[in-house]
Amino acid sequence: MCRNIRPLFNFDPPATDEEIRAASLQFVRKISGFNQPSKTNERSFTAAVDEIAHASASFLRSLETNAKPKNREREAALRKARGAERFPSRAGF
């Protein structure tokens, strides 16, 4: 579940609201243990995702670095290569 949470800071172009929300959703799923909340918990679940997304976006905007922004395509290729090395039977999927 948490493998889907990717670093979002210092990319060109910057992380989108959708990427931040997706990471927030994965975080809430992990800590709650729910992939999909029940109707009873849906409002609390959605509120938590919204709050974490807002806090995460604020946090990412406040960070500073002198490092050169990372290239999204290059980082994705590196992740894919590491995955193929770790799980050779899944290579090409």
Check whether 83 has a pLDDT greater than 90: no
Can you give the pLDDT at residue 47? 98
Please give the residue range of the domain that contains residue 81: 8-90
Number of domains observed in the structure of the chain: 1
Query: If phi over 0 gives left and psi between -120 and 50 gives alpha, with beta otherwise, what is residue 5?
Result: beta
Total residues found in the chain within this entry: 93
25 φ, ψ (degrees, to nearest 5)? -60, -45
Segment 12-44, tens digit of pLDDT? 889 999 999 999 999 999 999 999 999 999 999
Residues 6 or more apart whose CB falls under 8 angstroms from that of 38 comprise: none
Q: Is 70 helix (H, G, I), strand (E, B) or coil?
A: strand
Check whether 52 has a pLDDT greater than 80: yes
Rounded CA Rg of the chain: 16
Name the more confident of 61 and 76. Answer: 61
Tell whether 82 is covered by a domain.
yes
Tell whether 3 is covered by a domain.
no
